[in-house]
Structure 1
Amino acid sequence: MWWQRAWYRSGVHPLLWLLWPLQVLYRFVVQRRRQRFLQNPPKSLAVPVVIVGNITVGGAGKTPTVVALVEWLQAQGHRPGVIARGYGGNGPFPQAVTPQSTAAAVGDEPRLIVLRTGVTMVVDPDRVRAAATLLELDPQISIIVSDDGLQHYALPRDIELVVVDGERLLGNQHQLPLGPLRESQQRLSEVDLVVQNGGAEQAFRHGGDSYYRFELAPLQWRRVSDNVEVSELPAGERVAIAGIANPTRFFETLRAQNQQISDYRAFADHHPFTPADFADWQHVDAILMTEKDAVKCQSFAQEHWYYLPVEAKFSSDFWSAFQQCVDAVVARRQQ
């Protein structure tokens, strides 16, 4: 939609000001929900809950962050489990996510997370029910990571981590529908950790010691059909597709790799790909896509389709800070 693009341009588009009364109403509702949560927070779950969210609409890099946190927790001897809404999935809910799950049933990002980490995961728009189901499925889980859910105040939380897109930042800094913010920027001072996905070192101003920056590092190209790594892509005509919130980020990565691309095609975030979407490219030598798109295309992918997985690279300072947050929660629960 044009107004969503306008959110991330300099200043406020004149037509957007027509939505100002709705922003006032939205802000009032959000503040009331937040106040009710602070006055009467939900009862804690049996294990700590880490929420990975954002305060803007659209992708900011939450899924790679969730993958990184899960892998780090596993390496530290924890047994993490993951919950998510299952956006784009048709259910039924609650539903456990397995390597055999389809993106149509559970959503593209949950399937990606499970394929990358092997973690126990449940999707359900009701995050509390998702958490309860998760602990029933795997009673050995010692910590839950919630992919999104920062504004899902029915879900108790012990650690809040917010991801900010380092390129688009907070847009015009207005709340919905005048701007992209789900909550005011002040909310960032109330969470435990803020991480910036790429962008300039000082592109985003956030006071305190809870701000960290990370980069999405490309890994080895893989074939979509069988997930096998390839040492190099075939020569010839290549096209690139992206059905993610910020397709420009993927396209810029390809340019940085000096990939010769004849056609770039952006689809809507979470687009449910079908073979018909690729009808225009029957005779190209390679179709390149993101990992998030690949999990939806694997069942009908051809041999010349490839995807580029990425890895969130955090500094040692961030991991020290996250360790302190986890240790503090564990200590508090043992009192």
Structure 2
Amino acid sequence: MIEKIFNKIWYTQKGEDYFFFYVLIRLSMLPITFIYYMIISLRRRAYEFNLLKTYNFKTPIIIVGNHTVGGSGKTPFCIWLANHLSAKGFKIGIVSSGYKSSSKIPQLVNDKSHPDIVGDEAVLMSKLTKANIVSCGNRVEATKVLINKFHNNIIIHDDGLQHLALGRKLEIILSKNNFNLDSYNAIGFINLLPSGPYRDLEYQLSPAFYQQRKKKENGFNNRIYAHGCISTINKNLRNSITNTVENIEAFKNKTVHLVSGIASVSEICASLKQNNINVIIHKYNDHYKFNGSEFDFNDSFPIFVTAKDHVKLYNLKNEKVWVINQELIINKDFIKKIDKKVDLII
């Protein structure tokens, strides 16, 4: 509920209902934003002047993150990146924060791990990659486990841009497809939390401006922006009980339930509606822990879930549940850019 309210406040555009009302709310939060800004600025300076330690590893660290709160497809992209680099012969490790998991120490993850202990994203990555995966809120300790136990030659972090204790060789920054980076850069301070969705003004710099700043670093820019380079298609669905696979067109002109505990379902809904599927949305908070009652409907309509949500439904036995198989489409030039950067950091 709170998530929906803030999304309305942050992302309502000029010309839409209540735009100026939401602007007033954002302005009223500026005193809190200023306090938040002072805290993160002092923290950043503490790392810059070595008052707080940054751990740098010989093994290249790649961080996949976003500059705003909320989902932007980090986990699906980490899965793609791990498989892409594995196909090139690299031994990949992945660190997941284990968000909303119960573990406080590094946990090795496999496809049988419990999502309540290691996190739903970690389990999903284990199922869909051959990477070694560790789940832990302490990213430095998780990285040490991967290096010492598996000797990975590239380690990917799912999120962690603001984890300044962790040194990194490359950052890949994703953004929401409906997020207008240029318009937000033009406004500035009002977009910092909680007045806006930005976690840090450091990440509000445009790609062109940031590249100018990084020229002094031997011409190597360690940050790649993926804005507009990634799209998602929903090609087919798998039945959660029978494992039968159906093309999405098999559900054309039908009504389905979409039950979701991810950050945003807007892209999924748009894709389903493009295929003339009538969608009844049941949206829960990101990383929501299902108890099974959410799938009790007094009808025979199919129930669609994402792969990320499905790993949490280990006790659910419902033949009406279908898992959406999402496929990332990555711009070829963007892939070349990633490969070039990886060659530089190895």
- TM-score strictly above 0.5: yes
Q: Which residue of 1 aligns with 2:293?
A: 276
Q: Residues 164 and 224 of structure 1: is their aligned pair in 2 closer, same or farther, counting only changes over 3 Å?
A: same
- CA deviation map 1:231-276 (0-9, x unaligned): 5657865211222111222111111222233x22111111111111
**Pairwise CA RMSD:** 2.2
Give the alignment partner of residue 262 of structure 2, picking from 209, 229, 244. 244
C-alpha deviation, 1:290, in angstroms: 1.4
Deviation at 1:47, TM superposition (A): 0.7
| 2:223 aligned residue | 192
- Name the aligned partner's letter for residue 129 of structure 1: E
8 Å contact kept, 1:54–1:150: yes
The residue number in structure 2 matching 1:129 is 141
The 1:130–1:271 alpha-carbon spacing in structure 2 relative to 1, beyond 3 Å, is same
For 1:75 and 1:225, locate their aligned partners in 2 and report how far apart those are by CA, in whole Å: 31
Paired residue for 1:293? 309
Residue 193 of structure 1 aligns with an amino acid whose one-letter code is I
Q: Does 1:76 align with 2:88?
A: yes
Distance apart, 1:282 and its partner CA? 4.2
Inter-CA distance 228–31: structure 2 relative to 1 (3 Å threshold) = farther
Change (3 A) 1:130 1:219: farther
Aligned residues: 312
Equivalent residue runs for 1:35-54 within 5 Å:
35-40=45-50, 42-54=54-66
Q: CA offsets per residue over residues 170-216 of structure 1, 9 Å max, x none?
A: 568610011110012127526510112x5xxxxxxxxxxxxxx1111
The answer to whether the 8 A contact 1:223-1:307 is kept is yes
Unaligned runs of 5+ in 1: 199-212, 331-335
Change (3 A) 1:220 1:320: same
* CA displacement at 1:226 relative to structure 2: 5.8
Q: Name 1:8's counterpart in structure 2.
A: 11
SS at match of 2:271: helix
**1:104–1:316: structure 2 CA closer, same or farther, 3 Å change rule?**
same
Give me the whole-angstrom Cα distance separating, in 2, the residues matched to 1:322 and 1:116.
21
Match of 2:272 in 1: 254
Cα distance in 2 for residues equivalent to 1:312 and 1:298: 25
Amino acid at match of 2:26: L
Which residue of structure 2 aligns with residue 176 of structure 1? 193
Aligned to 1:160: 171
Decide which of 87, 109, 129 is 1:117's aligned counterpart.
129
CA distance in 2 between partners of 1:3 and 1:43 (Å): 35
Q: Is 1:98–1:114's contact at 8 Å kept on the other side of the alignment?
A: yes
TM-score with structure 1 setting the length: 0.86
Looking at structure 2, the residues matched to 137 and 67 of structure 1 have their Cα atoms a distance apart, in angstroms, of 21
31-40 or 214-223, which deviates more: 31-40
Say yes or no: does 1:59 pair with 2:71.
Answer: yes
2:176 maps to a residue whose letter is D
- CA 1:271–1:226 in 2, change beyond 3 Å: closer, same or farther? farther
- Report the CA distance shift for 1:32/1:288 in structure 2 as closer, same or farther (over 3 A): same
Listed one character per residue, the Cα deviations across residues 13-68 of structure 1 (whole Å, up to 9, x for unaligned) are 31232210111111122222233334446242131000001110010111111111
Identity %: 27
Q: Output the CA distance in 2 between the equivalents of 1:95 and 1:110.
A: 10
Aligned counterpart, 1:215: 231
1:220 CA displacement: 2.2
Q: Is the 8 A contact 2:103 2:117 kept in 1?
A: yes
**Structure 2: 5+ residue runs without aligned partners?**
14-18, 215-221
Q: Give 1:118 deviation, angstroms.
A: 2.7
TM-score normalised to structure 2 length: 0.83
